[in-house]
Structure 1
Amino acid sequence: MSLSGALSNALSGLTANARAAGLVSANIANASTESYGRRTLGLSSNGAGTTGGVRIDGVIRHVDAAILSDRRQSDAALANGDSLHAFVSRIETAVGDSEAPGSLANRVLAFENAMIAAAANPAATQRLESVAYSANALADTLRDLSGTVQQARTDADRSIAAQVTRLNDTLVRIGDVNTDIVAAQAGNGDTASLLDERQRLIDSIAEIVPVRIIQRDRGAIALYTTGGGVLLDGKPSVLEFSPTAAVSPHMILSGGPLSGLTLNGNPVTAPPAGMFGGGDLAAQFEIRDIAATGYQAQLDGIARDLVERLGPGGPDATLGATDPGLFTDLGGAFDPLNETGLAGRITLNALVAPGGGGSWRLRDGLNAAGLGDVGDGRLLQGIADALTASGLPASPALSPVSRSFADRAADFTAAVTGDRVRAESAKVYLTTRNTALSELELSTGVDTDQELQILMRIEQQYAANAEVMSTVDELLMRLLNI
């Protein structure tokens, strides 16, 4: 080998060593950076007819595609489970524990106890007022619970709108990065940083909807949902959704005023089923259209049970068939065909409003012409008996089993608690799985100990190449001195 060939070989080695050392430095600096792919230098020997040495083929970015895909699916499932758990926990907090003051069960118990106490001494105005206050508090609690459920639906609707906007914006950015990667590869440029950015963008939407990646030519990708929806293939798709200012109990998706999703102008099956199922977007649709409407229906059934137990045909013989009872539908009589949303409209009859001076009507009858026998507690006892009597519900939303009113409220409280426990168990599992996959992904990423070992080898190779150059320089100097 000639001296110039040896010098060329050593110089190519030094250049590769310097580039490799820079990659090691970048790897260590970004060891904890999300979406960063570990880099190594692609090298090959110069071909025949050259003086030898090494050629830099480019930067190689290392990512385990299978683990990355599993982690993204786990991200979507965890976001779904976390949103559903947060929703059920919100409802459980509003319903309250059976023993907690102000809870639904506690309000029912307070109303029943007040009624029993008044029946024992019907002449005591204070006890009659206590019945009015406790009845009014029970109606308030039902309305508050209905409001909480509808606010949760409204919040879910707004979250859907925000996620659709974020998804559309991110798909456009992924499309732009796709174009940049294709251009960089065509010019033999370094695409590692662009690939990092694309991975980060995909990760940012993986929680919204589970995604599947298909490789295309020249480094481009197509992006699909795991349900088969096209998010990006050549150009980004466009999702559309129309938010609602405030969701009310009568608003439904099927044939109602609530918006569904469209993909490139075509309606798609509303999550949680269909091509957009599985992520946080699906969870918000499930909250808005399934879970919350189910709770609302049960609350409406409980309110109907209360209204009808103490309405016409009940213990108060002064009520006509069309008169509002002790509990009313916004002051009027309840129409069985208008059960939806009743829990948000139920009110205590204004004739016995607390502090209004009409509490004697609880003893003598809502439509009594005047004061009766102050010692007659039959109506009060009748009301108490109507509350504790077991009967089948008229509402189709309630279980068709015989229950007292207190049992109805207790069943609802227990059902919500059970839903929360199941949602929490699912969330714990999903969190554990996601953590395990994230740790597995990190284990295939940058290992700082390994990078330092590589750096030591680079230093040794650098020293060897430098020694060759020093020897060649010494030989050249001797030749010049001859």
Structure 2
Amino acid sequence: MSLSSAISNALSGLTATTRATELVSTNISNKSVAGYARRELETSSRTYASGGIRIDGVQRMVNAGLLADNRLAQAASSQSGTVAAFHAAIEGAYGTADDPGALTSLLTGFNAALTSAAARPDSDTRLGAVLDAASALTGKIRSVSATITTARAEADRTIGRDVDKLNGALEQVAELNRQITVLTARGEDASPLIDTRQAAIDEIASLVPIQEVARENGRIALFTKGGATLLDGNAPAKVSFQAANAMSTAMTVGNGDLSRLSLNGKPLSEAEMGMFAGGTIAANFQIRDDLAPQYQTRIDAFAREVCVRFADPAVDGTLAAGTAGMFTDAQSASNPAAEPGLANRIAVNAALDPAMGGALWRIREGVNATDPGSGGDATLIQAMGAALTDTRTPSSAAMSSSTRSMLQFAADLTSGAATNRVRADASALQDQTRADSLNIMLLAQGVDTDTEMEALLSLEKAYAANAKVFQTVNGMLDEILRLT
């Protein structure tokens, strides 16, 4: 080996250790940056001249399989967490047993007011308490229905926002693909751009489960777990969604009032929507089109049962069949064909409310009574109390066919919401635990400060050794030149 070769080898060693030291410092400084992957210098022995070391490139240390599993787990966790939050909101709307504003508590309070009024039917104070309790009950039913409608509307708006985020992230990934391809073709390090691309893909993964497929020159393609192509080439797919301006209980996809996703301008069928199953987008479609309508159907059925029981001529002899009793559908008699959305419209009959031109004594004498009577007859009030507590087969096919009292029907609604919330919480916890475990495993493969410091010490020694070789050989050359 000539002295010039020794110098060349030492310089290659100095260059490699300098570049490796730069990577160590980059690793340490980016330890807490989301999406950053630890770098290692790829080197090999030079096969020409007298040896030395060659820098082959920079390698991002990422476990692709673990990263893919983590993204799918994040999508599942996002979906189950969104659904669990919805069930919790509905449970909160119904209220718990110890909540004085709960549906069951207000129904119990209404029954207590009827019992009190039956003991003193001549007391306007007690009749007023019945009116207040009835108004509180209908207000609660409307409040539950409003919560359901609000949840549907928010789910619809969130889908629109998520679709915008998805399209923006896909455009970003496509642009990064182009930039990475250029740098790769030049032989330059594209790791920073790949980090940014990974972060963008991670953002997509919470919206819809995706799979990343490597392509040539550092590019990648993206597909949903269900098989939809999001990006494979220069231009990403265009996902579109038409959010509703307002939401009502009657609005559905079937009647054309609500939108599904479109892919590259083509509306997706119900079966094709399965390509986007998982993630927050699917969760909000599930809430808007499935879960919330189920809750709405139940509260509408409960509202109808309330109306029907108090519109029975056997309870109030002043009523004709098919006319409104104490509880109305927006001041009209409830109609089985108009049951959808009834919970939004249920109200106390204006004939009983002095503030609306009615009279309290009609609570005692009957909705259509024309004479306040003597004030001592509690027959109607007692019959209304019995209408609450008697077990009957429900009027609506949407409710259980078994006989129940109104209190039992209310308890069924409340306990059903609580059960759904508990199950959803358990599913969300399981998905979150798995996602957290995979994320911890992924982070464990990231930057470890102790490991980087050990590498830095080794690089320091290697640099010193190569510098010593260079210094020694340079001194030998100087000696030769001095002698000549």
TM-score (norm 1): 0.97
Are 1:12 and 2:19 an aligned pair?
no
The gaps in structure 2 that reach 5 residues or longer are none
Match of 1:154 in 2: 153
- Distance in 1 separating the partners of 2:349 and 2:96: 28
Q: Deviations over 1:378-409 (max 9, x none)?
A: 11111111111111112122111110011101
Greater mean alpha carbon deviation, residues 127-136 or residues 369-378: 369-378
Task: Say whether the 8 Å CA contact 1:136–1:354 is kept in structure 2.
Answer: no
Match of 1:328 in 2: 328
Secondary structure of 1:55's match?
A: strand
Greater mean alpha carbon deviation, residues 410-419 or residues 346-355: 346-355
- Distance in 1 separating the partners of 2:226 and 2:66: 20
Task: Say whether the 8 Å CA contact 1:271–1:286 is kept in structure 2.
Answer: no
Q: Deviations over 1:69-111 (max 9, x none)?
A: 1110111011111111111111111111122111111110011
Task: Say whether the 8 Å CA contact 2:392–2:404 is kept in structure 1.
Answer: yes
Secondary structure of 2:181's match?
A: helix
1:74-223 → structure 2 map (5 Å cutoff): 74-223=73-222
Change (3 A) 1:453 1:271: farther
Task: Say whether the 8 Å CA contact 2:70–2:435 is kept in structure 1.
Answer: yes
Shift of 1:314: 4.0
Shift of 1:37: 1.1
Match of 2:480 in 1: 479
- Distance in 2 separating the partners of 1:331 and 1:85: 36
Task: Say whether the 8 Å CA contact 2:353–2:360 is kept in structure 1.
Answer: yes
Q: Deviations over 1:426-445 (max 9, x none)?
A: 12112211111111001112
Match of 2:346 in 1: 346
Are 1:242 and 2:242 an aligned pair?
yes
Shift of 1:282: 0.6
- Distance in 2 separating the partners of 1:89 and 1:400: 27
Q: Which amino acid is 2:276 matched to? A: F
Secondary structure of 2:207's match?
A: coil
Q: Which amino acid is 2:68 matched to? A: S
TM-score (norm 2): 0.97
Secondary structure of 1:42's match?
A: strand
Change (3 A) 1:160 1:286: same
Secondary structure of 2:9's match?
A: helix
- Distance in 1 separating the partners of 2:68 and 2:269: 24
Are 1:418 and 2:432 an aligned pair?
no
Shift of 1:57: 1.2
Task: Say whether the 8 Å CA contact 2:211–2:225 is kept in structure 1.
Answer: yes
Match of 1:253 in 2: 253
Match of 2:289 in 1: 289
Task: Say whether the 8 Å CA contact 1:123–1:374 is kept in structure 2.
Answer: yes
Q: Which amino acid is 2:221 matched to? A: A
Shift of 1:323: 2.1
Q: Which amino acid is 2:301 matched to? A: G
Change (3 A) 1:101 1:243: same
Match of 1:401 in 2: 402
- Distance in 2 separating the partners of 1:402 and 1:82: 36
Q: Deviations over 1:147-170 (max 9, x none)?
A: 111001100000000000110111
Identity among equivalent pairs (%): 43
Q: Deviations over 1:225-271 (max 9, x none)?
A: 00111111112000111111221100111233011111112222459
Secondary structure of 1:379's match?
A: helix
Q: Which amino acid is 1:337 matched to? A: A
Q: Deviations over 1:130-157 (max 9, x none)?
A: 1111001111111111111100110000
- Distance in 1 separating the partners of 2:213 and 2:432: 27
Q: Deviations over 1:154-202 (max 9, x none)?
A: 0000000000011011101100111111111111111111111110000
Moved over 6 A (4+): none
Task: Say whether the 8 Å CA contact 1:71–1:437 is kept in structure 2.
Answer: yes
Shift of 1:273: 5.9
Are 1:452 and 2:468 an aligned pair?
no
1:308-323 → structure 2 map (5 Å cutoff): 308-323=308-323
Task: Say whether the 8 Å CA contact 1:87–1:152 is kept in structure 2.
Answer: yes
- Distance in 2 separating the partners of 1:185 and 1:316: 85
- Structure 1 vs Structure 2 CA RMSD: 1.4
Change (3 A) 1:271 1:134: farther
Task: Say whether the 8 Å CA contact 1:271–1:285 is kept in structure 2.
Answer: no
Shift of 1:214: 1.3
Secondary structure of 1:224's match?
A: strand
Shift of 1:481: 1.8
Q: Which amino acid is 2:406 matched to? A: F
Secondary structure of 1:33's match?
A: coil
- Distance in 2 separating the partners of 1:383 and 1:342: 21
Change (3 A) 1:323 1:119: same
Q: Which amino acid is 2:405 matched to? A: S
- Distance in 2 separating the partners of 1:51 and 1:393: 94
Shift of 1:313: 3.4
Are 1:433 and 2:434 an aligned pair?
yes
Task: Say whether the 8 Å CA contact 2:261–2:273 is kept in structure 1.
Answer: no
Match of 2:377 in 1: 376
Secondary structure of 1:92's match?
A: helix
Secondary structure of 1:236's match?
A: coil
Match of 1:23 in 2: 23
Shift of 1:27: 0.8
Change (3 A) 1:73 1:271: farther
Secondary structure of 2:447's match?
A: coil
Count the aligned residue pairs.
Answer: 481
